[in-house]
Amino acid sequence: MRKRFLFLLVACFSTVALSAQTPGEHISKNAQVTSKTAQVREAAPNGQEIAAHFAAVKVYNEEATTARIKGKMITVIPASSEKDKPGLGEAIAVLDTQMKGDETNLPPGKYNLFLAKVGNRWHCYAESDGKIVAEAASVSVIDTGGPKKPVISRRGWSISIKCRNWHCKIVVKF
């Protein structure tokens, strides 16, 4: 009886030790990711990394939103990729704007928008042709459901978009 108990005890501890997640392992899709628990990058991505990430992107044209601000068109098309990892890097949208950034140096053009958590702060990068053209003036990741389609705000022009891979809303201001 004593040997059987010891055997079961060792078996239980072995199973727990083998199933324990080590730092840096991929987070299970069943785990609840929040803006606070998303993984953190040590360094900002470069334009080539973002371009490679967007090479396998899926765009959701049926959810595109277009707004006219001061006579200029801004279109946001939600996007996602199988390479997306909350915090480490996510394709969030394709932005096509005739208007320059209100608070950044973003010129009119077409950009891939990439979200990453660098050093515990959220950042959104606008990439085109393998180069980061601008970084958003402010980024908020809120642990609540986002809008069905992106919302483009006229004041200071910002974009509100829902996360594809976890339950959140992203607000980006250019």
Gap between the Cα atoms of 141 and 117, Å rounded? 10
* β-bridge pairing 65-69 and 72-81: antiparallel
* List of residues 6+ apart from 104 with CB closer than 8 A: 134, 135, 136, 137, 174
Structure token pair of residue 159: 């974009």
Three-state SS for 109-128 is EEEEEEEEEECCEEEEEEEE
Residue 99 lies in a domain: yes
Task: Give the percent of the chain with pLDDT over 90.
Answer: 56
The count of domains in the chain is 1
DSSP string, 55-73: TTEEE-GGG-EEEEETTEE
Query: Is residue 104 situated within a structural domain?
Result: yes
Q: Is residue 155 part of a domain?
A: no
- 119 lies in some domain: yes
The model carries a pTM of: 0.79
> Is residue 163, in this structure, part of any structural domain at all?
no
What is the mean pLDDT of the segment spanning 126-141?
A: 96
66-102, pLDDT tens digit by residue? 999 999 999 999 999 888 888 899 999 999 999 999 8
Q: Residue 100 is part of which domain span?
A: 47-135
Q: Which residues, listed in sequence order, are joined to residue 29 by a DSSP beta bridge?
A: none
Mean pLDDT of 106-123: 95
Task: Identify whether 162 is part of a domain.
Answer: no
Residue 32 lies in a domain: no
Q: How many angstroms separate the CA atoms of 165 and 92, rounded? A: 10
pLDDT of residue 29: 41
Residue 55 within a domain: yes
